[in-house]
Structure 1
Amino acid sequence: MTLLKLFLVPLFIALVAVSGRVWGAGVAGLLSGLPIIAAPILWFIYWEQGQDFASATAAATVSGIIALSTFCFSYAWLCGRYQWSLALLFSITVYFAVAFFVGQLSLPLVGSVCVALCVLLLQIIFSPRLGQQQLVAAASTSEILCRMVFALLLVVSVTHFAAWLGPTYSGIFAAFPIAGSTIALFSHRNHSAAHAIRSLKSMMQGLLSMLVFFYIVAIATSSFGFSTALLLAALTALVLQFGIILYAKSLSVGKR
């Protein structure tokens, strides 16, 4: 199990980063919206804490997506006015404030999904506009390594302290913006605010699939068991994400 923690998530991160080099920042941002970090955390929690704990954690991750999306939205607006260090500091502060707030709510799962979906769609709509400029910036090797290391630290930390955190905050922090913060930081610092905005907006669009993934796991585990629910959720999220990528590509072609 320890070896899986050490290698599984970093491997997923590397694959997404390579996709960015092949297909561009927009596709990499969309793929970063998939639960490539949060899903393995949930799987490890299932093996270490049991099915009921994992199901409750999945339900809480739905609320965690609100905080993750808010981080992306905040950085997208701040990066045009501030240097990357200040934009990152302010956005992380906003993330923790929202994460603590949603952790105190006692909404039913359907209510959490509705709130998360509304927040996510509004933040996508009201994100900064970039016009028709085409931005492509492949992730550097140092950026990929940072994502891999920070993702590994998150997986180890959340799974190690899961019993102490409880299912609510284990789920919320499973959606900590590891990919979002590294994408934002390196895109902003090495390229421009516009690159960061493009990547973060794509990531927010990708979070729609992540929302569906954790909702399915939360509702299907009791009926089908955790492993089957996880597989069903993964297949659904992949199909939805593929549809989002095709739609985004069609819009891009239509603007040329």
Structure 2
Amino acid sequence: MDARASVLLKLTLVGASVLLSTLAARRFGHGVGGAIAGLPMIVGPIMGFVLLQETPAQANAIALATLVCLPATIVHVLGFAWCATRFRWGVALLAANVAFLSLGAALLALRLPPPWACAVALLSPALGTLALPRRCEAPAAADIPRAELACRVVAAMAMAWCIMRSAGVAPAGLSGLLLAIPITGNILPCFTLPRHGAAATAALLAGFVRGLFGFAAFFVALHAALGRMPTASAYGLAWLAALLAALALRGLTQRARRAPSAGQVSARSTAA
């Protein structure tokens, strides 16, 4: 695949991911839209093309580097979510990306052993979930006009293009960090905060963190399987791991939501 086709593919995947996430938010609420955005909707297909073009060892190194940067993505989400409770989207965006680049550079310089990098990546979404601001918003369809939907897609593709252009001229370490910036994690909350408020933004970003469980599972499974089984099997296993992680987390979330309702019913019965 030549350079132009590769750039076009990446831009198309970015636009499709933002479109799918926004349509899900319109139908099911901001939390569901965020969860879809957090899954490896963009980098998963890109890794498939990487596996076709590169050796398993090179693809494994890319997967490991992605896992190393995942805690920085969690910090990005936390920074935006907490700033959104007090400041406008511009301040939140700046703070989140400064936090991401700072921690990401530190993690890359730390050079964690692969088992540690995998363990930290798997643990990060759980810690991020606990650290998010508690802003209650019931799951419900979100009113997102078509014009805003189009603006989200265009903004995401423009941001992706700028990142790819910048990464091409930046030093190698900085290029890796720029390419790891969560595009949907930047674009979606910037549109959600001014129109829908801090509670909706917190719900969106909480969903995004839930989606990152599947993201982490994808790359941990891919890293563990590459070199130990055929490349196609390793790629399929990675997607299976992401799907199982997403389904398991969805089941746990639904069970947790039902538990308070059951407790309230029991309390009413006792009082009666």
CA distance in structure 1 between the aligned counterparts of 2:178 and 2:234, rounded to whole angstroms: 21
CA shift, 1:221, in A, is 1.2
Who is 1:128 aligned against?
Answer: 133
Who is 1:208 aligned against?
Answer: 213
CA shift, 1:85, in A, is 0.9
Who is 1:235 aligned against?
Answer: 240
Query: Normalization by structure 2: what TM-score?
Result: 0.80
Conservation of the 8 A alpha-carbon contact between 1:41 and 1:159: no
Larger CA Rg, structure 1 vs 2: 2
Deviations 1:105-127 (A, max 9, x none): 21122101222333332221121
Once superposed, what is the RMSD of the aligned Cα atoms?
2.9
CA shift, 1:151, in A, is 4.7
Conservation of the 8 A alpha-carbon contact between 1:34 and 1:210: yes
Percentage of identical aligned residues:
27
CA spacing shift, 1:135–1:22, aligned 2, 3 Å: closer
CA distance in structure 1 between the aligned counterparts of 2:162 and 2:227, rounded to whole angstroms: 26
CA spacing shift, 1:111–1:8, aligned 2, 3 Å: same
CA distance in structure 2 between the aligned counterparts of 1:231 and 1:93, rounded to whole angstroms: 35
Which of 117, 122, 131 is the matching residue for 1:117? 122
Gapped regions of structure 2 (runs ≥ 5): 262-272
Gapped regions of structure 1 (runs ≥ 5): none
Who is 2:47 aligned against?
Answer: 42
Query: Normalization by structure 1: what TM-score?
Result: 0.85
CA spacing shift, 1:4–1:55, aligned 2, 3 Å: same
Conservation of the 8 A alpha-carbon contact between 1:147 and 1:179: no
CA shift, 1:102, in A, is 1.2
Q: For 2:33, give the aligned amino acid.
A: A
CA shift, 1:12, in A, is 3.7
Who is 1:7 aligned against?
Answer: 12
CA distance in structure 1 between the aligned counterparts of 2:89 and 2:191, rounded to whole angstroms: 9
Who is 2:37 aligned against?
Answer: 32
The answer to whether the aligner puts 1:250 opposite 2:255 as a matched pair is yes
CA spacing shift, 1:239–1:155, aligned 2, 3 Å: farther
CA distance in structure 2 between the aligned counterparts of 1:152 and 1:55, rounded to whole angstroms: 29
Deviations 1:182-215 (A, max 9, x none): 2211111111111111110121122111111001
The answer to whether the aligner puts 1:176 opposite 2:178 as a matched pair is no
CA distance in structure 2 between the aligned counterparts of 1:229 and 1:107, rounded to whole angstroms: 23
Who is 1:87 aligned against?
Answer: 92
Conservation of the 8 A alpha-carbon contact between 1:33 and 1:204: yes
Show the 5 A alignment for 1:52-201. 52-131=57-136, 133-134=137-138, 136=140, 137-149=142-154, 150-151=156-157, 154=160, 158=164, 173-201=178-206
CA distance in structure 2 between the aligned counterparts of 1:142 and 1:68, rounded to whole angstroms: 28
Deviations 1:104-159 (A, max 9, x none): 1211221012223333322211211124x415425443554455342576379559
* Alignment length (residue pairs): 254
Kindly indicate whether structure 1 or structure 2 has the higher relative contact order, using CA contacts under 8 Å at least 6 residues apart.
1
Conservation of the 8 A alpha-carbon contact between 1:59 and 1:214: yes
Q: For 2:250, give the aligned amino acid.
A: I
Conservation of the 8 A alpha-carbon contact between 1:64 and 1:174: no
